[in-house]
Amino acid sequence: MEMTLRWYGSKFDTVTLKDIRQIPGVTGVITTRYEAAPGEVWTREQIQAMQDEVAAAGLHISGIESVNVSDAIKAALPERDQHIENYITTLENLGKQDIHLVCYNFMPVFDWTRTELARVRPDKSTTTAYNQKAIDSTTPYELFDMMTPDDENVILPGWEPERMETIREVMKLYQNVGEEELFANLKYFLEAIMPVCDKYDIKMAIHPDDPAWSVFGLPRIINSQENLLRLIHMVDNVHNGVAFCTGAYGSSPANNVPETIRKLAGRIHFAHVRNLKFNSPDDFEEAAHLSSDGSFDMYEIMKALYESGFDGPMRPDHGRMIWGEKAMAGYGLYDRALGAMYLLGLWEAIEKNSKR
């Protein structure tokens, strides 16, 4: 297991590579070309430039989160083959640059969804939160406003302003796409990219839907144990794997996080580990990583990862805003650094215990 931190690049992130380098045990970053539109080819020169910048800080790129999949691919529009071809070229260029992990999601239109970006917790930290009643009484367009931070320099990953401009049209693309169609489109995409993944040993890691159910009537499929197993079996290739996100997958209390980790052994290529606090069946917020601050047993989660042989990059996930920090919601330095330390501590204890 390698502990990493997500980093958005010097143009977008308030957290610097120097900051990340000073977190004990964090050796790699998970990054992306944030400015790239889904469907666009990434050149080797662009990838090399990212690698040079990260290497100059004494770190390396452990994986890409994300190379986004366009709605044309997700909804099977006429231009999907062109977009898949571009995706393959990007994968080829990443492979040639010695990058072997790519995270993506297959959520239509919206990426992770929250209804509050700065809910105040009892300790006066702020955190992101989701309330189903708030979703039920709003529209996707109003939600976009809620997901837009007041500070215009802070953009929320997955909710870039340019997306809002096309959201009405994009929603319409899914009128005839249900869960079965979405599965078929995912299979089509995976089958097309597996040869290049095999050639360059690129592990594709799909991110579970967040929250793990349909939002605004759009189909969502990466949200239950049954569907995750269906995904890995429908294209039975080790390069077709999962970015297991405990918070996204665990947002549904029906999902047993440690059990599913064990069932997916060998196919989890990347782990996002965070804790949630359920306040009611309709409401959760992101807690500190520590088990006692939220609803998850983080020890059991880490033990399941360890015992199922997980050996890929791991990252702490959505952190609270503490100590006056202002950063991209969920992606400040301090709480994620605390999270990384805690997860490394759990891992060390589990590892040492298992060797006794």
The yes or no reply on residue 105 touching ligand DNO (CB under 6 A) is: yes
Give catalytic status of residue 318 as yes or no.
Answer: yes
Separation in Å, CA 79 to CA 4, 91, 95: 35, 19, 24
Q: Which of residues 168-207 bind ligand DNO (CB under 6 A)?
A: 207
Token pair in block for residue 12: 């977008």
Q: Which of residues 272-331 bind ligand DNO (CB under 6 A)?
A: 330
Q: Which of residues 40-79 bind ligand DNO (CB under 6 A)?
A: 65-66
Q: Residue 141's Cα: distance from chain center in Å?
A: 23
Query: Do residues 342 and 299 lie in contact, with contact meaning Cβ atoms separated by under 8 Å?
Result: no
The yes or no reply on residue 25 touching ligand DNO (CB under 6 A) is: no
Q: Give min distance, CB of 245 to ligand DNO, in A.
A: 6
Q: Give min distance, CB of 180 to ligand DNO, in A.
A: 22
Closest CB to ligand DNO among residues 24, 143: 143
Q: Give min distance, CB of 327 to ligand DNO, in A.
A: 13
Decide: residue 160, CB within 10 A, 0-12 exposed, 13-18 middle, 19+ buried. Answer: middle
Catalytic: which of 207, 239, 269, 289?
207
Query: Do residues 210 and 251 lie in contact, with contact meaning Cβ atoms separated by under 8 Å?
Result: yes
Of 229, 231, 226, 232, the residue nearest 254 (C-alpha): 226
Catalytic: which of 111, 200, 318, 335?
318
Decide: residue 254, CB within 10 A, 0-12 exposed, 13-18 middle, 19+ buried. Answer: exposed
Looking at the DSSP bridge assignments, the partners of residue 127 are: 119
- Applying CB under 6 A, the span of 53-61, 101-109, 137-145, 319-327 interacting with ligand DNO comes to 101-109
Give catalytic status of residue 272 as yes or no.
Answer: yes
- Applying CB under 6 A, the span of 40-48, 104-112, 178-186, 188-196 interacting with ligand DNO comes to 104-112
Q: Any residues with CB less than 8 A from the CB of 314 and at least 6 apart, and which?
A: 1, 2, 3, 4, 270, 271, 272, 273, 305, 343
Q: Which of residues 229-268 bind ligand DNO (CB under 6 A)?
A: 245
Q: What share of the chain is helix, strand, coil (3-state, %, to 5)?
A: 40, 20, 40
Catalytic: which of 272, 334, 335, 342?
272
- Residue 158 backbone class (left: φ over 0; alpha: ψ -120 to 50; beta: rest): left
The yes or no reply on residue 332 touching ligand DNO (CB under 6 A) is: no
The yes or no reply on residue 104 touching ligand DNO (CB under 6 A) is: yes
Give catalytic status of residue 207 as yes or no.
Answer: yes
Q: Give min distance, CB of 122 to ligand DNO, in A.
A: 24
The yes or no reply on residue 113 touching ligand DNO (CB under 6 A) is: no
Site of interaction with ligand DNO (CB under 6 A): 65-66, 103-105, 111-112, 157-158, 207, 245, 330
